[in-house]
Structure formats: C-alpha cells, structure tokens
Chain A
Amino acid sequence: MSLLAIENLTVALPKGLDRPNAIEGVSLTLDKGEILCVVGESGSGKSITAASVMGLLPPALRISGGRIVLEGADLLALAPEQWRDLRGRRLGMIFQEPMTALNPIMRVGEQIEEVLRVHGEGDRRARAARVGELIEAVGLPDPAHIRSAYPFRLSGGQRQRVMIAMALALEPAVLIADEPTTALDVTTQMQILQLIRSIQRARGMGVLFITHDFGVVAEIADRIAVMQHGRIVETGRAADILDRPQHDYTKSLIAAVPHLVANAMATEGAAGEPVFSATGVRKSYWRRGSWLRRSTRVDAVRDADFILHKGETLGLVGESGSGKSTLARCAVRLIDPEAGAIVYRGEDLAPLSRRALRPYRKRIQMIFQDPFASLNPRKKVGEIVAEGPITHGEGRAAATARARDLLRLVGLDPSAMERYPHEFSGGQRQRIGIARALALEPEILVADEPVSALDVSVQAQVLDLLADIRRRLGLTMLFITHDLRVAAQICDSVAVMKDGAIVEYGRTAQVFSAPAHAYTRALIDAIPGKNWRPPAPV
C-alpha cells in the first residue's frame, strides 16, 4: 500500500471560467521514502492538487470527485477536526513565499513551537528542546540567536529553513513542498534542495514536490508526474521521463528548458565598433538610521564598467541584490548615477538633464520584467505601442500604422490594437512590451529580466523572438538575468555581478567553461540539473 494515494481527483471551478474543472481525474501515488515531482506550467493544476491534499483549497473551489487516501484513510471522508489533526502530524507543507508564509510579529522559536503546542505535544521544556533540535536539523546558524529572532531579520533561504523546521516538527509521513525554491536565489535554492533531499533520506518521508523547473526536477526527483490543463499527461521514473519523454507536451517542455550550452550563434570576435559603454558607474543608497544609529551607506553599484559593441548581447548576471537592475536603470537614466560616465557613441549621457536627454531616449530603449505591471491598464495596446513615436513628434496616423506592423513583427494579430492589456497572457504582454520598445527604432535595447516572470515554454518563445529581432534589426542588447542558463543561451558576453561590483567579465563560452572567479564557479555549480543533458528534440 502506498503512503499517499490520490485517486481520480476532480476539483470543480466556479462556473463561467474557461474550463469546468481545475483538475480532472488526477491519480497519483506516493510511496515511503521517495520524492515525487509534479511538474507543470502555471494553470496546470499542480498547486491545486497539493492544496487539495492539505485541505487548503480556496473557498470558491470544491472537490467534486475522487479520493485522497493517506495511510489507508480517505481524507475526504474525515470530519474536519480529524483532518486538522492529520495536518502537521502526518502531513507537512512548505510554501513558495517564505516572506509571507511566516507570521511577521512572532519570534521564530515560538512559531516552530506553536506547531507542537497546537497538537498538544510534550510540556514546555520538552517543546523547547525539540525546537532546538529542529533548528539545528535544518542547518540554521547560531540556533540560540535564531530562535529569538523575528522573521524579517532572516534571509529568504533562512526563512525557508524555518518553514521546513515547522513542517518537520511532528515528523510527518508526507511533506508537500509547493515551489519551495522558486523565490530563492540560485545558490540558496541548491542548499534548500540538498536539505530537503537529505532530510527526506534520513527520515524516509514521502515528498510531493511541486515545481515548474525541470532543472530542479532533474536535481531531486525519484519519480515525475507531468501536468497540463488540470490533467496528468505522463508519469514515470525520473530517468525515463527526463531522457525519454513519451508525451508530446513533456517533450516540448523539456525542449524549452534553457540549458548550459553556450550560445552557439555567439559571433566569436566578430563584434563591431563600441557603441555604448559605462565606466566607473556608482550608485549608493542611504539606509536611514534612527536617532541612535547613524545612517549607513549601501553601495548598490560600485565602479561598474562594461562596453557594448555593435550587434553584441551582453548578459548582466547576478543574484538578487547584486545591483544588476540598478546598473541597467542607470544605463537608461531611470536612476541618476552618482559618478561615472555612460557613453553612447561618444556622448556622455550621465550629466545630461532630462530635456537634453530626450533625443537619446529614442536610441536606447528598455524591456521590463513584469509584463503585468509594465503596460498601462487603462490604455489600448495600439496606443501603448504608438505612444513613443507620437511623443517624439511623429504623426498619429503614421505611428498607428507602424504599431500595427510592429505587433505583427512580434507575432501578435493586428486586431490586438483595439484591446486592453488585461485581455492578454503574460507572454503576449511581454511581446507588446517589446513592440513598444522597438517602436522608436532604438539601437540599444536594455532588457531587465524579460523572461523571468514567464512559463518555461513561453520563455523559450520570447527568447527566440528577441534573438530573431536582434538579428534582423541589428540591435545591440544589454540583457539582465538571474538565470545563467538563459544567459548562456543568448548572450555573446557576460558580466557577473556580486554586491554591486562586476567580478567577472568575458566571452560567454569562456566564462562558462573556465570561470576565473570563485563566485562565478559557485553560481555555475548551483544551477539545478546541470548534470542533466536534455535529449535533443526530435
């Protein structure tokens, strides 16, 4: 008998949505001591599956069929109190967002202890001892200090460890992890994955691991279930699915995964004349102190230098807080750098006033990260794309005509002109953002994490589009990303940033094959699934 069995589970959506059921006929089994990865893109129903097991479905959804059997007992037939007792005791859960999953006004120690207390475990002293053990088990430094700290004092990775400690407090038989590493930096992600793996090994738990990232799957899975549109399309042993996927959807997902094979199209040494450069760019923020503490200066960017040659794509990679976005925003002068020069074709843009800068705005355009925030929700797509040229004095008719052409260029139907941004999916919106940037016929495109908010298959399409446009229009691109696999795929050279400084800068192939800086090596080592070579698409 398996530890956890989901049999033919169906969860109905409220009426009037694009499909009747969030998940339909989902059957899964999880055995003791194995990690089952449920993979799928957003909207595939993978999180709903996890929420159903925990009894955490949003009130609008209801289970309309099937069974969830945990150690021989059907959870759906249990009274709410019985199910509640199983949560925490037999079923543990880790959430995606460690920032919001912890109570911000409760000390870490109390929060872990609460799990024990609500289940009536032990007396005060026994509980305190257990909390100490747990904090140590999840590898948190300085346990005595950590337990009296508030969550905001901890880093994202530390918070996720606290969540894991809470989930493990009562030694559950099943651990459900819903995208536990998605919000974390790549090096932290690797540590958390290793922690989950080692704890699972040591205690023989069954882990239901929800993720969208095939790299993570390759790193951790024993078995895999692939979900699409609320159904399971393929299940099997990890090695089988990763190397010999059967279903077309699985094949397309795996083909879309960016992998660490340096850009084959990198025009080795063939770069043109330098067109854009930054030298000694510096930007710092003041963290305001209280009346007892002095204000402290935080360097967001320190003496950053880079040169963009005509037609080149330079990747700016680093983890969150490394200053890569600040540097990109300095390059387009959304942020005014404190020192240094930003030179475009011999003209230093850094000291120019906003008015004097206007003619150069046309030449340097930007694509933003969040396709849901970067388009004005009150404007039609046609207006959004035509806005730039109109601002720079082009006639409305001509600008509108060009907007139509651009939408076609980025693969959207011209009928999109009359619609509002909320009617489009994330990938389509990102295409609109690209069209908006291209409307001014820029020479340099600054792309700030343009694909990190997108699903992997959409991500691959947008990357292809960018590569295609870049080739056709001869664009020069500054590409900011936290994902080294993406950087390897599309950049000619990369600059690795850490704590505001560029620590390594060179041709992509060279940086990835022979990283000189220890930090670059650590980043490359932390790429999930780096030892897995996806099968070549057939």
Chain B
Amino acid sequence: MRDFARRFARNVGAVFGLVLLLAVLALALLAPVLFPVDPWQMAGVPFAPPLEDGFLLGTDSLGRDVAAGIAHGAHISLLVGLVSTVAAIAIGVTLGAVAGYAGGRIDDAIMRFTEFFQTIPSFVFAIVLVAIFTPSISSIIAAIAIVSWPPVTRVVRGEFLSLRSREFVQAAIVLGQSTPRIIFGQILPNALSPIIVLGSLMVASAILLESALSFLGLGDPNVMSWGFMIGAGRSVIRLAWWMSVFPGVAIFLTVLALNLVGEGLSDALNPRLARRRG
C-alpha cells in the first residue's frame, strides 16, 4: 500500500489531478456554507460582469449568482458521476465475471447481450431513456449507468478468462471451494486494478454525459447543474460570456482531474507497464 502511494506520488500529473479533484470535492461540500443562498434565487442585477457588484463570476440573465451555481452544481456533477459509475461497475463486473468464468454458451450469450448495448450510440440511448422516464436525478443516474456498463463487462471478462486457468484457481477448486467464492474471493481481487482505473475514467465521462443532458434541457429541473448553466447562457453568449465560460471551465477541470488521476492509478497499479513507458 505504501509502495502504491509512492509510485502514485512520483507521477506529477496524477498528484495535480488529485489536488484538483479534492478542491472540486471541497467546493461541493462547502457550497451551502460559502453560498448559503439558493442558487436559483435572484441575487443581484442581471448580466453583471465578473467582479462587479460583489459577484466573483458575475450574474446570469435572471440575476442569479454564477459562482453559487458552480459551487452547487459541483455537488450534483460529482454525485451523478460517482453513483452512476458504481452502478455501471456493479452490472459490468457481475456479467463480465460470470461470462469469463463460465465460458462456452453462457459467455456467448452474455457477450452478444453486451454487444447489443454497445451497438446503440450511447448518448442517443441516454436521451431516449431520460425522456421516457421524465428527467430527475435518479432517472439520469440510471440512464448513464445503463449506457456505460458494457466496457466494464468486456474488461472484466478478459481478466477472468486469463485468470481462471491459473493454477491457484485450480487449487481452490481442488480444495472444494464453491463457485461464487472462487469468483469473488479468488479471482476478483486479482482483477481489481483495471476495474479501478476504468472506474475513475468512467466518472469523468459520466459527468460529461450529465452535463450534455442538462445542456439539452434534460436535467433535473430542481437542481442547479453545470450543463444547465451553459445551456442557459448559450443564447446570450455574446452579451454575457461568463455565463457559459465559467461552468465550462469547471467541467473541463473536473474531467481533466479525473483523467489525470485515472492515468496515475493505472501507472501505479501496473508498475511494470509504467516503467517501460518512463
């Protein structure tokens, strides 16, 4: 574990990403303290440019504080990103583990099912799902989870295919361990590294998906989110650039941070690969 931390710390980009991510997390947690006013509430003159009237990042067309919107939006972005990723990984790991371990017909069936989901363009599919289930936090999370599990299944299946023929798995069979115990107790711990790396990158793409959905007006109408803010600022971008630029920067930095962390994790968890690259 200490070894892992040392390898991670050697990667400057990853540490920078981690710091950035922690900053976003702090912003999300401290939003109610820093901006106690509801971000939907009118706070000042409409279209106030940044640093005027005491608004750090200006106000939007209805006089709402952009900085407050970003702080509160951080909360929703991270929530959607994390929960949908956890759900997608749960689906993906279960299906991938069963497919990889069982092999044969079961593997074929599960992989054809997975490919079925992969052939549908994921963004279009997510729009359809949210539109059907009416936009809300939970329907958005469900839609993102449903479109993003197939890559997890493929990765986990690949890992299981190579691990299940290893002798320690055969040893567990000879000891008389049950199949679920072999899958989750023996093989899964050995397949965790790629899942963790994939997971950190999936959080990033889930945040992007959520932003894109709210940009199109398919976000939860009761919560402030970055995508919604950009969408609202889109029509007045020549008049009030700060309305769309600052939420955009927030998305950019968060996704960048997650990608850097993912890369760092990947290097730290596969030391042999990292050394070759360096």
- Cβ of A362 < 8 Å from any Cβ of B? yes
Most buried by A among B173, B175, B177, B181: B175
A residues less than 8 Å from B172 (CB atoms): 376, 387
B residues less than 8 Å from A387 (CB atoms): 172, 175, 177
The CA-CA distance from A378 to B193 in the complex, in Å, is 12
Contact-residue size bin, chain B (C-beta under 8 Å from the other chain): 10 to 19
For window 162-189 of B, CB contacts with A under 8 Å fall at: 166-168, 170-177, 181, 186, 189
Question: Given the interface contacts A376-B190, A377-B190, A378-B189, does A365 sit within 8 Å of B174 by beta carbon?
Answer: yes
B residues less than 8 Å from A332 (CB atoms): 174
- Cβ of A388 < 8 Å from any Cβ of B? yes
A residues less than 8 Å from B176 (CB atoms): 357-358, 361-362, 388, 391-392
- Cβ of A334 < 8 Å from any Cβ of B? yes
- Chain B residue at minimal CB-CB distance from A364: B174
Shortest B142–chain A CB gap in Å is 32
B residues less than 8 Å from A388 (CB atoms): 175-176
Q: Determine if A374 and B167 form an interchain contact, defined as CB atoms under 8 angstroms apart.
A: yes
- Chain A residue at minimal CB-CB distance from B174: A366
The CA-CA distance from A334 to B190 in the complex, in Å, is 21
Question: Given the interface contacts A373-B166, A376-B190, A378-B189, does A433 sit within 8 Å of B175 by beta carbon?
Answer: no
The CA-CA distance from A485 to B190 in the complex, in Å, is 37
Most buried by B among A376, A377, A436: A376
Shortest B164–chain A CB gap in Å is 12
Quick one: which of A329, A368, A392 contacts B171, CB cutoff 8 A?
Answer: A368
The CA-CA distance from A368 to B171 in the complex, in Å, is 8
The CA-CA distance from A366 to B177 in the complex, in Å, is 14
A residues less than 8 Å from B166 (CB atoms): 373-374
Shortest B270–chain A CB gap in Å is 14
- Chain A residue at minimal CB-CB distance from B166: A373
A residues less than 8 Å from B174 (CB atoms): 332, 334, 361, 364-366
Shortest B75–chain A CB gap in Å is 35
Q: Determine if B175 and A374 form an interchain contact, defined as CB atoms under 8 angstroms apart.
A: no
Q: Determine if A373 and B168 form an interchain contact, defined as CB atoms under 8 angstroms apart.
A: yes
The CA-CA distance from A388 to B167 in the complex, in Å, is 15
The CA-CA distance from A392 to B186 in the complex, in Å, is 16
Chain A 388-412 interface 0/1 with B at a Cβ cutoff of 8 Å (1 = within): 1001100000000000000000000
For window 313-364 of A, CB contacts with B under 8 Å fall at: 329, 332, 334, 357-358, 361-362, 364
Shortest B3–chain A CB gap in Å is 12
The CA-CA distance from A125 to B50 in the complex, in Å, is 81
- Cβ of A440 < 8 Å from any Cβ of B? yes
Shortest B96–chain A CB gap in Å is 18
The CA-CA distance from A6 to B130 in the complex, in Å, is 75
The CA-CA distance from A374 to B167 in the complex, in Å, is 4
Q: Determine if B171 and A433 form an interchain contact, defined as CB atoms under 8 angstroms apart.
A: yes
- Chain B residue at minimal CB-CB distance from A332: B174
The CA-CA distance from A98 to B264 in the complex, in Å, is 38
Question: Given the interface contacts A376-B186, A377-B190, does A368 sit within 8 Å of B167 by beta carbon?
Answer: yes
The CA-CA distance from A445 to B189 in the complex, in Å, is 28
Shortest A438–chain B CB gap in Å is 12
- Can you show 27 pairs from A to B with CB atoms below 8 A apart? A334-B170, A334-B173, A334-B174, A357-B176, A358-B176, A361-B174, A361-B175, A364-B174, A365-B174, A365-B175, A366-B170, A369-B167, A370-B167, A373-B167, A373-B168, A374-B166, A375-B168, A376-B186, A377-B190, A379-B189, A387-B172, A387-B177, A388-B176, A391-B181, A392-B176, A433-B171, A440-B175
The 6 A-B residue pairs with the shortest CB-CB distance in the complex, in nearest-first order? A361-B176, A374-B167, A378-B189, A388-B175, A368-B167, A376-B168
Contacts A332-B174, A362-B176, A375-B171 supplied; 11 other A-B pairs, CB < 8 Å: A365-B174, A368-B170, A368-B171, A373-B166, A374-B170, A376-B186, A378-B189, A387-B175, A391-B175, A391-B177, A436-B171
Q: What residues make up the interface of B, taking CB atoms closer than 8 Å to A?
A: 166-168, 170-177, 181, 186, 189-190
